[in-house]
Amino acid sequence: MAKIIDGKAVSQKIKNALKEEVKELRKNGIIPKLAVIMVGEDPSSKIYVRNKSIACNELEIEYEEHILSNDTTMKELLELINRLNKDNTVNGILLQSPIPRGLDINEAFKAIDPKKDVDGFNPVNVGKLCLGQDSFVSCTPYGIIKLLEEYGIEIEGKDAVVVGRSNIVGKPMMQCLLNKNATVTICHSKTIKLERVTKKADILVVAIGQPKFIKSNMVKEGAIVIDVGINRGKDGKICGDVDFEEVSKVASYITPVPGGVGPMTIAMLMNNIVKAAKDQSKY
């Protein structure tokens, strides 16, 4: 039976340390601040944004929210981003995805000042991650690396397989694992005989948005399985992309959903805001 990787506990530990750091920064007149932009009424986004505001509150990070209507134009969105780029009290800017069709999210990410890009989606930070340079690393992959490290799981030399190639999870995950010297394969919806590839993984990261898609026959005995998915199952309950019940009998370690990767994403966002505040103040 696999050991459970407790993302809730690890994220709390990270947040506790950051809280102390924020206290120190505040004593020195540095007040970290996050500005969140949400466009439209996506119900999941509302929950994610709320969780981020709660974490900021817990860590005494200032938080401001800009909720824009569905009919916002690209010009209006870019104007807001530019205003926040120039606002010296704002250290981090986060544009919650998805945004309404008709708006170009890549243009918007490109407009965010790389120094304030706490989600790590600006092409400058994506490029720096590829080059192995200091950058803001996208929070979900970064959180997964921290989880593996916290559990003393060696990455170097391992065969790692990432299922899903989105710009926000799959691709940066691949890069993070490569930077840690894993041998990485990335799969997607056009991969033929997926199980042929997933079965070779020592470390399997799944981010596809398909409830309980990964079954035990797709996983190598003793593999470390990281489930990024957040889905609503047929029973109405939140579940991951991995069939936890089956796969936990085969894997050596596994992340649960909820309570695995999700809380780590928020903790690493907090980490990136504190980093942004320190970098900008040359603390």
Binding site for ligand NDP (CB under 6 A): 140, 163-166, 168-170, 187-191, 194, 207-210, 228-231, 261-262, 265
Other beta carbons within 10 Å of 128? 17
Sign of CA dihedral 106, 107, 112, 114: positive
User: Which DSSP string corresponds to 188-252?
Assistant: -TT-SSHHHHHTT-SEEEE-S--TT-B-GGGS-TT-EEEE---EE-TTS-EE-SB-HHHHTTT-S
Considering the complex, state which of residue 101 and residue 190 has its C-beta at the smaller distance from ligand NDP. Answer: 190
Nearest distance from C-beta of residue 205 to ligand NDP, angstroms: 10
> How many angstroms separate the CA atoms of 154 and 23, rounded?
33
DSSP 8-state secondary structure symbol assigned to residue 114 = G
Would strands 238-239 and 231-232 be described as parallel, antiparallel, or unpaired?
Answer: antiparallel
110 catalytic residue (yes or no) = no
Of the residues 15, 33, 52, 275, which is catalytic? Answer: 52
Other beta carbons within 10 Å of 113? 18
Identify the helix (H) or strand (E) that includes residue 159.
Answer: strand 159-163
What's the token pair of residue 33? Answer: 């601040």
Nearest distance from C-beta of residue 171 to ligand NDP, angstroms: 9
Residue where the block lists tokens 């944004």: 49
Considering the complex, state which of residue 191 and residue 280 has its C-beta at the smaller distance from ligand NDP. Answer: 191
Of the residues 113, 116, 117, 119, which is catalytic? Answer: 119
Nearest distance from C-beta of residue 107 to ligand NDP, angstroms: 18
Considering the complex, state which of residue 80 and residue 254 has its C-beta at the smaller distance from ligand NDP. Answer: 254
Other beta carbons within 10 Å of 132? 10
Nearest distance from C-beta of residue 168 to ligand NDP, angstroms: 5
Nearest distance from C-beta of residue 20 to ligand NDP, angstroms: 24
- What is the amino acid identity at position 239? C
Nearest residue relative to ligand NDP (C-beta): 166
104 catalytic residue (yes or no) = no
Of the residues 15, 33, 96, 117, which is catalytic? Answer: 96
The CA–CA distances, whole Å, from 225 to 140, 219, 220 equal 15, 8, 10
243 catalytic residue (yes or no) = no
Considering the complex, state which of residue 111 and residue 228 has its C-beta at the smaller distance from ligand NDP. Answer: 228
Considering the complex, state which of residue 18 and residue 25 has its C-beta at the smaller distance from ligand NDP. Answer: 18
Nearest distance from C-beta of residue 26 to ligand NDP, angstroms: 28
Considering the complex, state which of residue 188 and residue 196 has its C-beta at the smaller distance from ligand NDP. Answer: 188
Catalytic residue list = 52, 96, 119
